[in-house]
Structure 1
Amino acid sequence: MFTLSVEHLYLSNSLKSSDLESENRLDLLVEELGELLDTVRDRYSKALEDCMKHFPLTLSSILLGKAISSVDDLAVILDYATRLSSHLESSIRSLAILSLYELKSLLYFTISRSSVKPVNDDEARSYTFKLISGVAPGLLIILGDDPLALEKVLSKAQRLGFIVLVVSSRFREVIDGGLVIDGRRGLIRYVADNPIDGLVYSLGLAARLLSISTGSLDRDNLSKYLEKRMHVGVAILSASKSLEPILDAISDLGLYTVVLADVTYDKGRVIYIDRIDGIIPTICSKLGITTFLEEELPIGFSSIYEGKSVRDRDVYVEFGSVKPYFELVLSRKLEEVVDGRIEVIGPDIDSMPEGSIQPLGILVEVAGAGMKREYEPIIERSIHRIVNYGEETWHVGQRDSGWIRITRRGFDKGFRLKHLGCMLYIGLKRLYGDIVDKIQIKIYTDESRVNKLLEIARSIYGERDRRLIGLSDEDVERYYICSICQSFLSNHVCVVTPERPGLCGTVTYMDAEIAYELKGEASGIRPIERGKPIDPSKGEWEGLDRAVSQITHGAVNKLSLYSLVSYPTTSTLSFECISVFIPECNGIMVVDYSYKDETPIGLSFASIAGMISGLQMSGFLGHSRRWILSRKYFKADGGLKRIVWMPRSLKEALGGEFKARCIEEGVPDLPEKIADEYTARTLDELLEWLVKVRHPVLELPPILTF
């Protein structure tokens, strides 16, 4: 059989492209592919096998109904796609045509490696996570060689948080011209300079992301999932006749394409518009992505801003911290919620002195056919992530211990509290739109109203926490790991068990279970089998160590869930309390965020927090208030009997539950024997107090021998 030389095939590709515009272009494509496949298979068989690992033929696999894993499969898909390219059903016919173009891209990639820059598996998993979790509202494929038009569309897409695949021969000029891409988030990805190669590869990648999230994919549900689950749209910044067969195929698969042209009109799912600023809104409208509130935001709102810091010198106003604060999500009946309503009750930012700290209450009321009360704390925890998506907003903490900062630059741009409500509405709709139909938000800044509602919120928090009473760590084999805070602390994870809530205090074992059920690993929660015991009395298991080592990138290889001095877990950024081992008195000091003075060790809560956040430090751990009430509270080190100092306000806040636990431990008078700021402000005073009251710690063996 006569075969073309590789050089001849490569040089004649442009001539073939012009032939494809004629009415017999499909026949010419099939003929070209047959000759090209023979040549590449004969001369570059090993290279072709290697390239197939990096350039999976996802569309072809879906068409064929099985994975394409060998060079021999390529001849099968060529024959099969050729026969189906004249199928009566348009979606099958179009998928077959796209498969032929996909095969062509692979073969030319094998020869020259110049057309497409493939996406590796790690990148693909990252994109999938962002899409199915709602972090990114959708995936856009953008083609265009006009640097000014491309920069304008990419800036808008990035600002809204889209994952963008770029096909352009002049993308480098856009970057050199000043477009800033946050490389950590990887939201904008150059794919190719050739329009057909890049567009077909990007469609295959979108299908590949779907297969990662669903486990398998068939051609019957491909179009439904691409549009509804991944929210895939295509934008073409300059019309080209050579793209028409591809656009027809995309349209048959159910995707929308917006083309910048001289006139505005619709041709099925291919929409021609004459204004560049209408491209992104048109795609969002067709995909059902809410943007009407985003248009009102004076600042950027995207996951690219998560993980930033806001320094004291940049703050215009802050909320919470030392002032009353709460954030609460409650489920309501559908008729009780007006979707999109945002109310600010009390003074707004422009009525507050610059540099001041203000009270704040955030009440989010949600309704939906799929909504359950058990989902409330899961949705509530997402407030942390969403506020940090704001370009000029910063958030740590949760529940009644949150802290929000608004920058001076944000205030100057016009950011006000209604925009905080807009961000929450948009973010929660993205994350939980499958279960929540309506959302209304009330933001309180009037201190008397905040205090009144704070008491109600705390009673609800307590009710949620009490759901787990009676379930112990020994009753289950599976624990959960929460990695939500890794956007700030890359090597930190929380281990959540029935008796050990997340260190922030908002994620209980039941919450973690529900979050994983709702969103899988996209929730930031994943289950782990604790595995074989190493030392159960310390909370040490093989499976736990293995999972933590993997998720912390090898930074933490061993931990003890029930010990403060022997491999404690890492501390998060949003803890309510800190426990510190004091060697001089063989005991544990506990201080919470509301206590601002120095502790007996000469450091304040803020100073200690700055030392330990994100780190595994023997003798130090930031944790929730609820952890103090757990039967597993540093059980390996002696438990509650080790506590020698805590602020009086914390003792009062723990109240009757703490007294009940002390009685259970056989030390009913322990609360009175624990020193506070009124009885001991220095180490010497603390030691004197412990002897004076005959604290039970004096009868315990040295903690370091445990």
Structure 2
Amino acid sequence: MSKIICSAAIRGAHKIVDMAEEKYEEALKKYGPEHEVAFPNTAYYLPIIYSMLGAPVKQLGDMKEIFQECRRLLPPPVSENVWLPYLAPALDAGMATFFAEEMFEAIRYIEDPDFYTKTEDPTDDRFWLGAADDVIFRKRGVEFVDGTAPGFAAILGTPADPETASKIALELQEKNLYIFMHDQTDGLNMPEQLLKQGNQIGWSTRLVPFGPTYTSAVFAIGFACRVALAFGGIKPGDYKGNLLYNKDRTFAFVMAFGPVSDEWYANAAGAINWGFPTISDWDIPEVLPTGICTYEHVVSRVPHDEIVQKSIEVRGLKVTVSKIDIPVAYGPAFEGERVRKDDLFLECGGGRTLGVELLVSKEMEEVQDGLVTVEGPEMTDVEEGAKLPLAILVEVAGRQMQSDFEPILERQFHHLINYAQGIMHIGQRNIMWLRVGKAAIEKGFKFEHIGRILHGKLHQDFGAILDKVQVKIYTVEDKVKEVLELAKATYAARDERLGSMTDESEDIFYSCTLCQSFAPSHVCVITPERVGMCGAYNWLDGKASYEINPTGPNQPIEKGECIDENLGQWKGINEFVQKASRGKVSQVSAYSLMVDPMTACGCFECIATMLPMCNGIMIVNRDYMGMTPSGMKFTTLAGMVGGGNVTPGFLGVSKHYIGSRKFLKAEGGLKRVVWMPKSLKEELRERLEERAKEEGIPDLLDMIADEEVGTTEEEVLAFLQEKGHPALSMEAAV
């Protein structure tokens, strides 16, 4: 490693450890050793320290040993006269840097709790977000699982020109990468430069402003560490496993703009431990030999118009970008973009007007591939603030196309349309809502381009089953009403088809191993009555996916001989799971929480767990932030359930499955549920009330406690006794 870089990194590490330790001593005197420390709402303590050392830093006093470890790691400053192998000492200095910065940031949360917004997106008066809490982390983790986010760029500083900064950010977004932003260059920071250009920043657009100083780089590295812990089955303290996991699976790199300080060198050296190289626009020494990183470690003097492509090349990322011929940028990074009132040019549906979208299959001769027609006013024909009715009718044909595939393809409309910059799509079917921003109109975006998007992407993603795609878009009310009537009849037929299917009526179930890239031993088994725990895949989706990609993550499984009908165990399922989990899981129960429950990757919508004192089951959804009667918040529970582990008494479930007749059948099903957050209860009320009537307890939902009743088992038990909840008289489940 370059002697200049090594010397600077070690100097920077000494400065950072000294600074952090001084801050620690001040905090210790002020708050005492028993004062709690944490990054808010995370089950991973200080994640870099926890993942590398296995040390849960819970109180200020716990930091003393970590600082001692920093001092052990810190090499002496590089002598001018003695030549050494510099790489190893620099890497140790980088690791000490991250440990010290993580403790520094944790103390910052104590001293100034409002320094960071602690939200998913910036607030009106502040844009530095701070560490991602576990709700954000697990929500975004799914994108790293399914490949829509191949990696992230950790940016230090910013180009001086706002237009250049925006162009670089846009190119990174178009490559589907997350952009984590830190520190400043000559008083300028990247988020402010992007805001000047009208960019929306925050997790929803993948432009994440972590913090205003270099110490916030630990939020990016900590995010990578949590990926390995949550999804990869890596244990705390397995530093080698964590580093290798991230080098091979979590593709990231550092992009530095402007003069590189000793502190930046120290952070860059730390990132190399994880296989994350640094690419800079500044004239600094390069480290070109391979070793820790996949290719070069430090590359410098890269022009701004080449820096994104160079970064991707150096990191070894394989990014597949599909170019859609439309006048706005296009990619998953824009899916979370919002078109707010001040930016709004046009809207359709969403209760403002009639809106509907439908995909139907036709005979080959009935479809003209590539035909896009718009009947009614185009976007360019109306004034700002207009509201138009909208029907999007997609007709497809293919030799392998089946009617069962229609809802799967139709469901793609939501994200495919949202990928267009400046376009916001919410809802599906006849509750869809489209908003178009002024900037998109200024660039020439029209309804026609929605047709181009759907034609191109459906061919691209589902070419195995589609031969032809044509799109008809209507913006006149009489034609919209015609499509709406057709859609209602089609929706009803689809719902009846899926609703009539049972686990007993089908001999084939489907696997989902999509998340094995993060949780290698996880295997989800999807049945007609048990939707995947992420809520995104049902039995028909599994069937369609297999037809589309026979070697993909959704494989057919012959149930075989029934081992236990009540638990939901079959010989064929167990044999498949044992093989697919590489021998880690020998058997699973489709209907049990306590006996051989299914594994989870971390992408579940809800968690179910036992409340022994209440002889019942509580369910908590990901969006609920409060305490639960189990004594743990969702984030803590999620740390126990994920990673592909079998955890009897804890189970990841989808919202849809809660209303299934097979929901935890072995433990008594819905009658055993005693607590769930009020928001979840209301969201599922209609479906759960229908199930309760089937069970002969029509008022069951009113017997289920929520956070307004209590968040301790004692409070819940008293409520259950008052209401006469059936779980109290059921046989003990534990």
Q: TM-score, normalised by structure 1?
A: 0.51
Query: Are the structure 2 counterparts of residues 26 and 247 from structure 1 closer, same or farther at C-alpha, using a change threshold of 3 Å?
Result: closer
1:305 is aligned to 2:331: no
Deviations 1:432-456 (A, max 9, x none): 9xxx998988531479xxx9xxx9x
| C-alpha contact 1:325 1:400 (8 A) present in aligned 2 | yes
Give the C-alpha shift of residue 253 in structure 1.
1.7
Question: Partner of 2:371 in structure 1?
Answer: 346
Distance (Å, rounded) in 2 between the aligned partners of 1:180 and 1:187: 11
**Distance in 1 between residues matched to 2:222 and 2:684, nearest whole Å:** 41
Q: How far apart in 1 are the matches of 2:689 and 2:277? A: 56
Moved more, 54-63 or 403-412: 403-412
One-letter amino acid of the counterpart of residue 336, structure 2: I
Kept in 2, the 8 Å contact 1:125–1:209? The answer is no
Which of residues 33, 36, 50 is equivalent to 1:61?
50
Output the amino acid matched with 1:96. M
TM-score (norm 2): 0.49
Contact kept, 8 Å, 1:139 with 1:233, in 2: the verdict is yes
Cα distance between partner residues in 1 of 2:98 and 2:286: 29
SS of the equivalent of 1:521 reads coil
1:254 maps to 2:267 = no
Measure, in 1, the Cα distance between the counterparts of 2:65 and 2:91.
17
Deviates more, 1:170-179 or 1:351-360: 351-360
- Structure 1 distance, partners of 2:139, 2:229, is 12
Q: How many residues align?
A: 498
Matches within 5 A, 1:524-563: 525-526=654-655, 529=658, 546-547=675-676, 549-551=678-680, 556=682, 559-561=685-687
CA distance in 1 between partners of 2:8 and 2:679 (Å): 55
Residue pairs, 1:12-411, within 5 angstroms: 25=11, 28=14, 32=18, 36=22, 39-40=25-26, 43-46=29-32, 49-52=35-38, 54=40, 56-83=45-72, 93=92, 96-102=95-101, 105-106=104-105, 109=108, 117=116, 123-133=133-143, 138-149=151-162, 150-154=165-169, 157=172, 162-169=177-184, 170-171=188-189, 173-174=192-193, 177=196, 179-181=198-200, 185=204, 187-195=206-214, 197-208=215-226, 210-214=228-232, 216-217=234-235, 218-226=238-246, 229-242=249-262, 243-261=264-282, 267=288, 268-284=296-312, 286-291=316-321, 293=323, 298-299=328-329, 301=331, 302-305=334-337, 314=346, 326-327=358-359, 345-347=370-372, 360-361=393-394, 363=396, 381-393=411-423, 395=425, 410=440
Structure of larger gyration radius: 1
- Return the alpha-carbon distance in structure 2 between the equivalents of residues 168 and 33 of structure 1: 17
Distance 1:313 1:358 in 2: 19
Q: Which residue of 2 aligns with 1:443?
A: 469
Deviation at 1:144, TM superposition (A): 1.1
Change (3 A) 1:424 1:190: farther
What is the aligned-residue RMSD (CA, Å)? 6.6
Q: Distance in 1 between matches of 2:369 and 2:154?
A: 38
- Measured in 1, the distance between the counterparts of 2:437 and 2:192 equals 32
Report the counterpart of residue 604 of structure 2 in structure 1: 521
Q: Distance in 2 between matches of 1:154 and 1:278?
A: 13
CA pair 225-358 structure 1, distance change in 2 beyond 3 A = same
Output the CA distance in 1 between the equivalents of 2:156 and 2:25: 31
Residue type matched to 1:444 in 2?
Q
Q: Is the 8 A contact 2:205 2:335 kept in 1?
A: no
**Contact 1:399/1:506 (<8 A) preserved:** no
Give the drift of 1:47. Answer: 7.4
Could you tell me which amino acid in structure 2 is paired with residue 345 of structure 1? Answer: G
SS in 2 for 1:471: coil
Structure 1: segments with no counterpart, 5+ residues: 1-17, 331-342, 476-495, 570-630, 638-706
- Give yes or no for contact 1:393–1:405 (8 Å, CA) kept in 2: yes
Code of the aligned partner of 1:200 = V
Q: C-alpha separation between the residues in 2 aligned to 1:113 and 1:98?
A: 22
Partner of 2:604: helix, strand, or coil? helix
For 1:359 and 1:191, how far apart are their aligned partners in 2?
Answer: 39
Structure 1 position 184, deviation (Å): 8.5
AA of the residue aligned to 1:69: K
Counterpart amino acid of residue 225 in structure 2: A
Percentage of matched positions with identical amino acids: 14
Deviation at 1:185, TM superposition (A): 3.3
The answer on whether the counterparts of 1:48 and 1:71 sit within 8 Å (CA) in structure 2 is: yes
Question: Which secondary structure state, in structure 2, belongs to the residue aligned with residue 238 of structure 1?
Answer: coil
Please list the CA deviations of residues 529-555 of structure 1 after superposition, one character each: whole Å capped at 9, or x if unmatched.
5699xxx9xxx9577795462447xxx
1:473-512 aligned at under 5 Å gives the runs: none
What letter corresponds to residue 604 of structure 2 in structure 1?
E
Decide whether the 8 Å contact of 2:371 with 2:470 is kept in 1.
yes
Asked whether the 8 Å contact 2:503–2:529 carries over to 1, the reply is yes
> Can you give the 5+ residue segments of structure 2 that lack an aligned partner in the other structure?
76-85, 119-128, 289-295, 363-367, 383-387, 474-481, 507-525, 546-553, 555-598, 607-621, 623-653, 700-734
Provide the rounded CA distance (Å) in 2 between the counterparts of 1:68 and 1:123.
17
The residue that corresponds to 1:648 in the other structure is none
Do the aligned partners of residues 466 and 220 (structure 1) sit closer, same or farther apart at CA in structure 2, a change above 3 Å counting? farther
Does the 8 Å CA contact 2:48/2:98 hold for their aligned counterparts? yes
Amino acid paired to 1:59: I
**Partner-residue secondary structure (3-state), 2:239:** coil
Cα gap change, 1:185/1:547 in structure 2, threshold over 3 Å: closer, same or farther?
A: farther
Are the aligned partners of 2:34 and 2:61 in contact in 1 as well (CA < 8 Å)?
no
CA distance in 2, matches of 1:313, 1:179: 16
Residue matched to 1:483: none
Q: Displacement of 1:246 after TM fit?
A: 2.7
**Cα separation, 1, equivalents of 2:502 and 2:326:** 47
Deviates more, 1:397-406 or 1:238-247: 397-406
Query: Which region of structure 1 is more displaced relative to structure 2, 90-99 or 198-207?
Result: 90-99
Contact 2:455 2:471 in 1 (8 A): no
**Distance of aligned partners of 1:506 and 1:344 in 2 relative to their CA distance in 1, 3 Å threshold:** farther
Q: Deviations over 1:35-68 (max 9, x none)?
A: 6488347524537833445594322222213423
- 1:328–1:61 distance in 2 versus 1, CA, 3 Å: farther
Output one character per residue of 1:144-169: Cα deviation in whole Å (capped at 9) or x when no partner.
15552545444555677654332234
Matched residue SS, 1:50: coil
CA deviations over 1:462-491 (Å, ceiling 9, x no partner): 689646636399x9xxxxxxxxxxxxxxxx
The 8 Å contact of residues 109 and 115 in structure 1, kept in 2 or not, is answered as: no
Aligned residue identity for 1:185 = S
1:78 counterpart letter in structure 2: F
